[in-house]
Amino acid sequence: MISVNNLYKTFKVHKKEPGLRNSIKSLFIRKWIKNNAISDVTINVEKGEILGLVGANGAGKTTLVKVLAGIIHPDSGTVRVLGFNPWDRKYEFRRQIALIMGQKAQLWWDLPAGDCFLLLKEIYQIPPRQFNENLEFLKETLNVKKQMDIQIRRLSLGERMKMELIAALLHDPKIVYLDEPTIGLDLTAQRAIRNFILKYRQMHTPAMILTSHYMEDIEQMSKRIVILRKGRIVYDGLL
C-alpha cells in the first residue's frame, strides 16, 4: 500500500530574461522564483491497483513518482510505502520497489541483457531458483529469448523497454512505478507492453502507479486516475 498525505515540494527556478544584455546581467544579479512542484497532494494506492497519474508537462507527475521512490526529499508531508519512509532509502524498502522510466535507461548498454540480469541478481540477492523462474517467465511473456545475448545498445527501442521491464521485475517488487513506459514506442510495442503489464498485475498484484501522455495506456490499464495540474490534484476518481 502507498499512502501520501499533504505532500509539498518546491523548486527554485532561475527567472530567464530575454536579450544579450539581460543574459550577461543575470550572471551577476540573479532573480529567482519559486515553483511548487507538488502541493497538498494526498493519495492512497492499494495492492493490485494500477493508478493512472495524468497531467500536462510540468504538472508534477515525475516529481511525485520520484518522491515515492525516495529519490527526491519533499519539503513537508508524510509518505508511507509498505510502512517505510521512502527517503530513508533502507535496503529492505528498495528491494521491494521498482521504478521504470521510459526516458531513462537503467541497464548497462555495453553488456548483453543476460549479463545485466545476472548482475541484478547479485545486487538484489535473489535466490537462484526464484531468479531462474522469474527470468524464464518474463522472457517468455515478453518474447525476448532470442535477444538475451545481444548488447543492450544494439536492441531496438521496443526491445530495450522490454529488457528494462524484466530488470525492474526480477526481484518480485510489491510496488511498481511506471513513468511513461511506452513513450516513443510504435503501436505494436505499446500494445505488447500494455498487455504484459496487465498480465503481470493479475498474477503478482503489486500496487502500481502509471504516468503516461498516451491516453490509450491510461484507458486500458487504469480504472482510477489522479489528474495533477500545477502540482495539485484536481481530480481523483474513476476513469
Report which secondary-structure segment, H or E, holds 37. strand 32-45
Q: What is the grid cell recorded at 50? A: 494500477
Averaged confidence pLDDT in the chain: 88
pLDDT digits (tens, 9 = 90+) for 174-225: 999 999 988 888 888 889 999 999 999 999 999 999 998 888 999 999 999 9
pLDDT digits (tens, 9 = 90+) for 89-119: 898 999 999 999 877 778 898 999 999 999 9
At residue 214, the 3 state secondary structure works out as coil
DSSP 68: H
Confidence of residue 6 (pLDDT cuts 50, 70, 90): confident
pLDDT digits (tens, 9 = 90+) for 119-131: 999 999 999 999 9
Please give the share of the chain, as a percent, with pLDDT higher than 90: 54
pLDDT digits (tens, 9 = 90+) for 137-161: 999 999 999 999 999 999 998 899 9
- List alpha helices for 36-174, DSSP H: 61-69, 91-94, 113-123, 128-142, 157-169
Q: How many CB atoms lie within 10 A of CB 199?
A: 11
DSSP 7: E
Instruction: State the Cα–Cα distance between residues 235 and 218, nearest whole angstrom.
Output: 15
